[in-house]
Amino acid sequence: MDVREIDGADPELARRYWELGRASELAYRVFDSYWPWQTAEVSLREGRAGWETHLLGAFDGDRLAGVGMLTLPLLDNPHLAYLNVNVDPAWQRQGYGSALASQVEELARERGRRVMACDAYAPPGEETAGLRFLLAHGYTVGLEDAMKVVELDATEPGWAALEAEVAPRTAGYTFVTWADVVPQELLEDYCRLQEAFFELAPLGEMEIEPEVWDERRVREREESNRNQGRQEVCTAVLAADGSMVGLTEVALNRHAPHRGFQSGTLVLPEHRGHALGLAVKLRNHRELRSRFPQCRILVTGNAGINLAMNAVNDRLGYRLVERCLELQKDL
C-alpha cells in the first residue's frame, strides 16, 4: 500500500478521486448529495478561497483504493482541521482508511492544527462503517444533526396558510431576497450575521470558534461559486431601523438542478418570538420556486438540540432521512 498526495490539477487523477468518492458515498448515504463532476473538477483543481486543501490517495499498484482530504480554514479557527476519507467499497476493511486518516492527521499536526473534525452519516438509530471507523480511531461525537428533506411540489400548497398565520406577527419587519450576489448596501450586516451564526447556533461539544467575515471573503466566495456552478437564494429580515436581524440561505448547483441545500438560518435573539424563522424560510422557499422551478427537493441539517429550528422545519414538511454526527479528536 502506498499513500501519497494527489495533484487535483491532474485531470485523470481528479476524475478517479471523484469517482471513488462517489461510489463510496452512494453505497451508504440514504440520500444522494454527492457533488457533480463539473463542480468537483474546478474545486479539486483550484481549491477553495480561504481554505488550504490537501488530497491523498491510497494506491495498490496503479489501483486507487481510497482517497482522503484535509481542509484547513485559513481565515479563522487556526486550531482546526477537517478530515474526509472514502475507501472503495470493494477494498474496505483492509487498512486503507486507517492509513489515509493517519497521514491526514500527520499533515494537520505538521501545520500546527490541534483539533481534527469529521462528519459521519448514518440512518436514524443505526451505525455505519464511517461512524465505527472514527470511534475506533479515537474520535468522539460533539454534535448530532438531523438531516431532513422536504418535497417542494407536495408541500408548497400548504405555504399560503402558514404565510397568513405569520403575517400579523412579523408586521414591522421587511424581507429582502437576492440570488448569488449580496447587495452592497447589506454587505456589512450580512457579514455580522454570518459571524453571529457560529456564536448562536448550538455547536454541542464541537471546538469551533466563530468565523470571521469581511467583504473580501464574501466576494471571493461568490466568484468561486460562479466558477463551480454553485448558486444561492437568500432572504434577509430587516428591522424597522433597516438593520439586518435575520437571514436564511439555500445553496443550489446548476449541474444538479433538482436539489438544493437549505443552509444556515438565523434570527438574532432580541428579535425572536415573532415567527421570523418560519417567515423568512417561507419567503425564501417562494423565491426559490420562482427562480429555480426545476428544484424539487431541499435538504437541510440541524442540531437535534435546536428545538426552535426543528419546530420550523416540521411545519414546512421536512422529514428526517438520516443523521449527521460531527466528531472531533484532539491531535
Ligand X SMILES: CC(C)(COP(=O)(O)OP(=O)(O)OC[C@H]1O[C@@H](n2cnc3c(N)ncnc32)[C@H](O)[C@@H]1OP(=O)(O)O)[C@@H](O)C(=O)NCCC(=O)NCCS
Contact residues for ligand X (CB under 6 A)? 24, 28, 66, 84-87, 92-98, 118, 120, 129-130, 132-133, 136
By beta-carbon distance, which residue lies closest to ligand X? 130
Q: Which is nearer to ligand X, 24 or 265 (CB)?
A: 24
Distance CA 235, CA 177 (A): 4
What is the DSSP code string of 102-149? HHHHHHHHHTT--EEEEEEEE-TT---HHHHHHHHTT-EEEEEEEEEE
Shortest distance, CB of residue 115 to ligand X, whole angstroms? Answer: 15
Instruction: Count the neighbouring beta carbons within 10 Å of the beta carbon of residue 166.
Output: 19
84 versus 155: smaller Cβ distance to ligand X: 84
Q: Which is nearer to ligand X, 13 or 129 (CB)?
A: 129
Positive or negative, the CA dihedral 185, 191, 194, 199 is negative
The three cell numbers of residue 251 are: 445553496
- In the bound complex, what is the minimum distance in angstroms from residue 113's beta carbon to ligand X? 16
Burial of 172 (0-12, 13-18, 19+ CB in 10 A): exposed
Could you give the angle at which helices 215-228 and 37-46 cross, rounded to 10 degrees? Answer: 130
Nearest distance, CB of residue 222 and ligand X, angstroms: 28
Q: Which residues contact 126 (CB under 8 A, 6 or more apart)?
A: none
Question: Minimal distance in Å, beta carbon 260 to ligand X?
Answer: 23
Q: Reduced to 3 states, what is the DSSP secondary structure of residue 280?
A: helix
**127 or 185: CB nearest ligand X:** 127
Complex with ligand X: residue 186 or 325, whichever CB lies closer: 325
Q: How far is the CB of 52 from ligand X (least distance, A)?
A: 18
Question: 7: exposed, middle or buried (C-beta count within 10 Å: 0-12, 13-18, 19+)?
Answer: exposed
**Minimum separation from the CB atom of position 133 to ligand X (A):** 4
Minimum distance from CB of 276 to ligand X (Å)? Answer: 35
Nearer to ligand X by C-beta: 87 or 146? 87
Cβ proximity to ligand X, 244 vs 325, nearer residue: 325
One-letter identity of residue 79: H
d(CA 8, CA 46) in angstroms, rounded, equals 8
Q: Are 28 and 323 in contact (CB under 8 A)?
A: no
